[in-house]
A = this chain, B = another copy of it.
Amino acid sequence: MDTKHRILDEALTLFSEKGYANVFVADIAERVGIKAPSLYKHYKSKQAIFNAIVEEMNRRFSEEAGALRIDGTNAAADAEIYKHISEDELIALGNNLFLYFLHDDYTKRFRKMLTIEQFHDKKLADVYTKKYVDDPLSYQGMLLGLMVTAGVLQTEDVNIMTLHFYAPIYMLLTICDREPEREAEALKTMEAHIRQFNRIYARDEELIQSK
């Protein structure tokens, strides 16, 4: 990795731990192995480093979508899978979503940085909500909607069902960001959550037969 990218990487690590204001240009430079003034040959200011991180994240976000999928390839393939999903596969879906958000290094650092900086700039607030609320709800809602259409799940309101699926995952994620030592506990809760979600929303076979 060249110096220009190493600066972004080390800056992101520091910003995600201490917040923008508590990180000094000299700190970033030290981790890269250069002196602060050298850093200004790569970026014209501290703010420019921050902006470059956000821009790089925007580039990565398009690749990221794949990681939310059960087979990691494309949504069309997913659609087929979700029409015949089992409880264990639903748990795998939740776990994949959760573990990706939790452990993907770049994603995790960026999310923590946004958590700290979200009130500082309306644009950052919008990015946070889109990335960690609206986009996951939209994508998961599409998948759960497929399962409803296929008769695997049943509900009167897919959007609320999706909220019931994702909100606990989101909350457990924020707990783990804050207190990594609770990760094992969170994973158990995750699995119990999805098992109960499946029991609640699974199509009642007797109901189908009685029609």
Q: Which residues of A contact B (CB under 8 A)?
A: 16-19, 21-22, 112, 115-116, 118-120, 125-126, 128-129, 133, 155-157, 159-161, 163-164, 166-168, 170-171, 174-175, 177-179, 182, 189, 192-193, 196-197, 199-201
Residue numbers in B under 8 Å from A182 (CB-CB): 129
Residue numbers in B under 8 Å from A179 (CB-CB): 125-126, 129
> What CA separation (Å) do A199 and B201 show in the bound complex?
11
Q: Which of B115, B157, B161 contacts A115 (CB 8 A)?
A: B115
Cβ contact within 8 Å between B19 and A196 = no
Residue numbers in B under 8 Å from A196 (CB-CB): 155-157, 160-161, 164
> What CA separation (Å) do A30 and B160 show in the bound complex?
46
* Secondary structure of the A contact surface, majority rule: helix
Closest 10 CB pairs of A and B: A21-B21, A167-B167, A167-B168, A167-B171, A160-B196, A125-B178, A163-B168, A200-B200, A21-B22, A160-B192
> What CA separation (Å) do A7 and B174 show in the bound complex?
31
Residue numbers in B under 8 Å from A17 (CB-CB): 119
Residue numbers in B under 8 Å from A22 (CB-CB): 21, 120
Residue numbers in B under 8 Å from A178 (CB-CB): 118-119, 125, 128-129
Cβ contact within 8 Å between A133 and B163 = no
Residue numbers in B under 8 Å from A177 (CB-CB): 119
Q: Which interface residue of A16, A119, A175 has the most chain B CB atoms within 10 A?
A: A119
Residue numbers in B under 8 Å from A170 (CB-CB): 167, 171
CB-based nearest B residue for A114: B178
Residue numbers in B under 8 Å from A201 (CB-CB): 200
> What CA separation (Å) do A159 and B193 show in the bound complex?
9
Closest chain-B Cβ to A104's Cβ sits at a distance in Å of 18
